[in-house]
Copies of this chain bind each other. A is one copy, B any other.
Amino acid sequence: MMAEPLPEPPPRFGGTRRSDPRKRRTLNRETIVDVALELVDAEGLEGLSMRRVADRLETGPASLYAHVANKDELMELVYDRVLAEVHVPEPDKRRWEEQLKDALRQLYNVLVAHRDIAFVSMARVPVGPNMLRVAEGLLAILRAGGVPERVIALAMDYASLAVNSLAYEESLYPPDATANQIDAYYRQVTDYFASLPADRFPNLAAMAGALMEPERDERLDFAFDVLVQGIAALARAGKRRK
């Protein structure tokens, strides 16, 4: 921890082109990404703008472009920084399904902890060092499990899509919403479904209650179960065909 920095002294009398010349040469990719991640953590991607990053660094937005190609690249750098928190275990061939599920779940948890950052990797695949590390770890688990190469290729693709979109979807609930508020919203939707004309929407009206019942954790478990069981089933089929 550093001591709280003193407030800025007033500028010299005769006009100041540089706000504080001592501050030069302090800008770099790393601090820019740091600040950008702070903004994302505080307000989500919507709160991230070049101007606000620049403000926090006491400079103008143009200065950032010497270190970062554009906002997209900055977001990808932030995304990879977040992935630094993910740890993928050493593969154990007897438990590959469980390991895969745990790893995906951990990935999900890390993403959700940083608001809607998952959106970044839905727009394009950000190939940063940590992304590579995580991918390497997942590949190791699948290969140790004896999953055929072709199935691995497809599974990696689909798994990353599933984790990222699940995380993104989850992140859209405002983090300060109480369980009561979310519950109230669900009840509203349920009531609406139940109120639909039963002749045109018999199934929707009948299942209104059931549709809204599953809790967050159950939905997640279901999604990862579907994913891993599906991969395992296709792995067996793939091996048989060989």
Contact = CB atoms under 8 A, between A and B. Distances in A.
A230 B140 CA distance: 23
When all copies of this chain in the complex are counted, the total is 2
Contacts of A132: 196, 201, 204
B158 A223 contact: yes
A233 B234 contact: no
Contact of A169 (B152, B161, B192, B196): B161
Interface residues of A, number: 54
Contacts of A172: 123-124
A135 interface: yes
B203 A158 contact: no
Q: Is the interface of A mostly helix, strand, loop or mixed?
A: helix
Interface stretch (A47-55, A68-76, A206-214): A206-214
Contacts of A233: 229-230, 233
Given A156-B211, A226-B231, 5 more contacts: A122-B122, A124-B172, A132-B201, A153-B213, A229-B230
24 contacts: A122-B169, A123-B172, A139-B203, A139-B204, A139-B207, A143-B203, A150-B210, A150-B213, A152-B210, A153-B210, A153-B213, A153-B214, A154-B218, A154-B219, A158-B222, A158-B226, A161-B166, A161-B223, A162-B162, A222-B234, A225-B234, A226-B226, A226-B227, A229-B230
Interface of A: 122-124, 127, 132, 135-136, 139-140, 143, 149-158, 161-162, 164-166, 168-169, 172, 189, 192, 196, 200-204, 207, 210-214, 218-219, 222-223, 225-227, 229-231, 233-234
